[in-house]
Amino acid sequence: MKLKTMMAVVAIISVCSTNAMAKLKAFQNEKGQFGYKDESGLVVIQPQFDFAIAFSYGLAPVKIGTKWGYINEKGEVVIKPQFDHASFFTQDGFGLVELDGEYFFIDKVGKKVESE
């Protein structure tokens, strides 16, 4: 499967997987930093990220400086920022990332998933 096709499939699955999305929503404060609020509007994770994307299957991609990593719903970094781009995690437990022009899947601890 071509890389662009694979990325498109992951994006479509991520968008359609609303059941997997957490109740936390990313928001941006007046200083341009991103954090997360719950459904009632209560700040759960203080703004501290340069960019943040919705949670999927317990993890959310966040940008710190120039690199992307993943946090859990407590705001703890669980996969250190090291990627040039990062996507949602799928129901299979894989996230598509890009590093130095190479696209590959990682598991929920950040380990590269080797293709068969």
What residue spans define the domains of the chain? 3-106
Indicate if the pLDDT at residue 15 is higher than 70: no
Q: Across residues 59-83, what is the average pLDDT? A: 98
- d(CA 47, CA 69) in angstroms, rounded, equals 16
17 pLDDT band, cuts 50/70/90, is very low
For the record, the structure tokens of 41 come out as 């509007």
The pTM score is 0.81
pLDDT in tens, 83-103: 999 999 999 999 999 999 999
CA separation, residue 97 to residues 12, 13, 58, 116 (Å): 16, 15, 17, 18
